[in-house]
Amino acid sequence: MSRLPVISSKRALTSSSSSSENGQDCAPAQKRTRKDTEPIKPLGAATIIGGRRPPLAATKAPMSRPIRGVGAATVAAGPSRGVLKPSLASTVAKGSNIKPTVASSDAKAAGGGGTTKRQAWDMKGRVSDMEVKIRNYQTKMKTVNQENEVLRSSAVQSETKVAEMQKELERQRSQISMYEGQLQALSGVRNELEKVSSEKSTLQKELSNLEGKYKVMETLRESQETELQTLKMKLSVQESTLTRLQVTLKDTEETVRSLEETVARQQDDLHAREMERRRLHNTIQELKGNIRVFCRVRPLVDGSTSNHIQVPANDLKTITLAKTEESHTGKTADTQKNYNFNFDRVFGPQATQQEIFEEISLLIQSALDGYNVCCFAYGQTGSGKTYTMEGDEFDATRGVIPRAVQQVFRAAEKLEKEGWEFTFTASFVEIYNESLRDHLYTGKASKRPEHDIRKATTGEVTITNLTYEKVINEDQVLGLIALANKNRSTAQTAQNDRSSRSHSVFQLDIEGVNSGRDVKCKSTLCLVDLAGSERMLKSQSQGERFKEMTAINGSLSNPGIVIAALANKESYIPYRNSKLTYLLQNCLGGNSKTPMFVNIAPEPDSFGETLNSLRFASKVNDCVIGTACANKK
């Protein structure tokens, strides 16, 4: 179909080429053909034969008017039906070449048979020419018709070909659509392939990762295998060692059994020796005296030495108080009066807290052996009683109470290894003006309870509503002492000089049980910081102050009176004379050990009070109370 224009042009070319082949004569003839409306029919010649024509028209007609062959016409129509083969085209070209032949025949005819021109009058000749011409034309027509037939058959062939080609086209189209379908399927496949390939690359990455991990695991496995081998070797070594050790163990168990028997025997020995030690220890203490009095001289505030107090360096038991009496007349020399006192030990101003404690530590030890121990500090205000009993917070300056507590807990710890179990109960009470105040009270001040001293039928003395705190170590006791000091300073603020005029009694009740030996012991360690011992002139004291002074004086002298009564083995011991003696009755009797510190102030103006203190202490020192016995069951 698309080749039609090409064929037309070919046809045009063929036509033009044929024109050029025919020479110039043909071209004007074609032009004329287009202008003429009426073609000249061949029959016209016959008509021409019969009629007369002007010579010009007669000569002109065969020259100018080409006879259009049927074949030529058919050829013109032919190309529109399809593609012409080159052979056909040449045939057509040949067909178209007929024109010049006819034209030349015409020319011959017109010329009257070749180069000879017919005369006008030679009608016969001219007719014959015409007939020749007609015959030529007829021959030509036949040829053209034949060619036409050829062309037709060729066209039919072409149509068949076209139909075949259309069929082919259809087939190819369906093939194309099939291919397109396949292509679509293939593009799906390609997508699938791309997906698969991306999955593949992911899997490859994973694979390479896994390979890496595998390598690591492999290395690990190898190292673990090596380790396993080493362990196996060690195990086998250890197994053989174990076998050896098991044999040794049996031997050792035998040895342990025999050693245990030895230990048990030795523990029995140890216990017997411990009991013997206690007995001997306490015999020594008793020989030394259950009442022991120590004198301690406080250093002067400026560090200088006091002239009226003499503590000989070579005699640790004597103190001399020297008084220079001026001559009344002035004629005689001043006389010096010496007051000599003997005590269990005299400590000069340089004595340390450690030295002080060492002196009583053996007595404190007795508290764990079941003996009641009551340690007093006696002396005028400011003489150093509290310093001796409590001391300062630093290790070197700690007083008797913290050191005693430390010793008791350490000794208890050692005794626990020998089967003893101890329980400790602490209390801290103040006796002021014959009334009791709990130093460990932590409640509201307005709700402070009243206290009273009670004696049970067992002989045990307790204070009602008092805080009795179970303690298990030294630190807890130190915490309670700190609480007591806080309570005391609060009371001190409310009432001036109260602490100087009150007694502070720290008590540690000790109960020990040795269930293995079926032994029990019970004792009380009492550490008492007495009120200032200075005497007040009765004339200076009135009302409450007088009452207070009487109470202090009574309670201070009453321990001495009680001790004296005990020493004299009197039938009535006046414990009830004061709250202090009533509270401490179990610690003052024959069942107790009583160390007492008499503290003296070195200032010259304290001479009188110092003399009084030393006299009182000396009296106590002279008392010999009966043999103490431990509270053991």
Ligand X SMILES: Nc1ncnc2c1ncn2[C@@H]1O[C@H](COP(=O)(O)OP(=O)(O)OP(=O)(O)O)[C@@H](O)[C@H]1O
Is position 612 an interface residue for ligand X (rule: CB under 6 A)? no
* Options 382, 512, 559, 589; binder of ligand X; rule CB under 6 A: 382
Is position 451 an interface residue for ligand X (rule: CB under 6 A)? no
Question: Which one, 154 or 599, has the nearer CB to ligand X?
Answer: 599
* Options 137, 343, 387, 432; binder of ligand X; rule CB under 6 A: 387
Amino acid at 63: M
Question: Shortest gap between Cβ of 399 and ligand X (angstroms)?
Answer: 9
Question: Which one, 278 or 488, has the nearer CB to ligand X?
Answer: 488
Question: Which one, 499 or 585, has the nearer CB to ligand X?
Answer: 499
| 384 among annotated binding-site residues | yes
Chain-centre distance of CA 361, in angstroms? 53
Question: Which one, 268 or 355, has the nearer CB to ligand X?
Answer: 355
Question: Shortest gap between Cβ of 552 and ligand X (angstroms)?
Answer: 11
Secondary structure class of 346 (helix, strand, coil): strand
> CA geometry: angle at 489 spanning 488 and 492, to 5°?
90
Give first-to-last CA distance, the chain, whole Å.
145
Question: Which one, 378 or 409, has the nearer CB to ligand X?
Answer: 378
The residues, ordered by sequence, that sit 6+ positions from 428 with a Cβ below 8 Å of its Cβ are 438, 439, 440, 467, 480, 481, 483, 484, 504, 505, 506, 507
Q: Is residue 520 within 8 Å of 370, Cβ to Cβ? A: no
Token pair of 331, please?
């004629």
| 383 among annotated binding-site residues | yes
Site for ligand X in 585-604 (CB under 6 A): 599
Is position 485 an interface residue for ligand X (rule: CB under 6 A)? no
Q: Which stretch binds ligand X (CB under 6 A): 186-194, 195-203, 377-385, 618-626?
A: 377-385
Q: Could you please report the per-residue DSSP string of 33-79?
A: HHH-SSPPPTTHHHHHHHS---HHHHHHHHHHS----HHHHHHHHGG
Q: Which stretch binds ligand X (CB under 6 A): 65-73, 273-281, 384-392, 612-620?
A: 384-392
Q: Is residue 147 within 8 Å of 92, Cβ to Cβ? A: yes
| 386 among annotated binding-site residues | yes
For residue 312, the tally of other CB atoms under 10 A from its CB is 12
Is position 613 an interface residue for ligand X (rule: CB under 6 A)? no
Chain-centre distance of CA 602, in angstroms? 66
| 380 among annotated binding-site residues | yes
Question: Which one, 270 or 536, has the nearer CB to ligand X?
Answer: 536
The whole-angstrom separation of Cα 109 and Cα 132 is 8
Question: Which one, 95 or 532, has the nearer CB to ligand X?
Answer: 532
* Options 19, 148, 365, 386; binder of ligand X; rule CB under 6 A: 386
In SS3 terms, 601-618 reads as CCCHHHHHHHHHHHHHHH
* Options 30, 145, 423, 500; binder of ligand X; rule CB under 6 A: 500
Secondary structure class of 347 (helix, strand, coil): strand
Q: Which stretch binds ligand X (CB under 6 A): 81-89, 197-205, 376-384, 487-495?
A: 376-384
Secondary structure class of 223 (helix, strand, coil): helix
Secondary structure class of 394 (helix, strand, coil): coil
Amino acid at 79: P
* Options 71, 79, 82, 532; binder of ligand X; rule CB under 6 A: 532
Q: Which stretch binds ligand X (CB under 6 A): 44-52, 258-266, 382-390, 445-453?
A: 382-390
Is position 492 an interface residue for ligand X (rule: CB under 6 A)? no
Is position 384 an interface residue for ligand X (rule: CB under 6 A)? yes
Question: Shortest gap between Cβ of 384 and ligand X (angstroms)?
Answer: 3
Q: Is residue 592 within 8 Å of 581, Cβ to Cβ? A: no
Question: Shortest gap between Cβ of 438 and ligand X (angstroms)?
Answer: 19
Is position 499 an interface residue for ligand X (rule: CB under 6 A)? yes
Phi/psi at 228 (5° precision): -60, -40
Is position 100 an interface residue for ligand X (rule: CB under 6 A)? no
The whole-angstrom separation of Cα 478 and Cα 462 is 22
The whole-angstrom separation of Cα 423 and Cα 333 is 65
Residue closest to ligand X when measured from CB atoms: 384
The whole-angstrom separation of Cα 63 and Cα 60 is 5
Residue 5 burial by Cβ neighbours in a 10 Å radius (0-12, 13-18, 19+):
exposed
Question: Shortest gap between Cβ of 587 and ligand X (angstroms)?
Answer: 21
Q: Which stretch binds ligand X (CB under 6 A): 163-171, 385-393, 409-417, 579-587?
A: 385-393
Q: List residues binding ligand X (CB under 6 A).
A: 298-299, 379, 381-387, 499-500, 532, 599
Instruction: Provide the annotated binding site for ATP.
Output: 379-386
Instruction: Provide the annotated binding site.
Output: 379-386
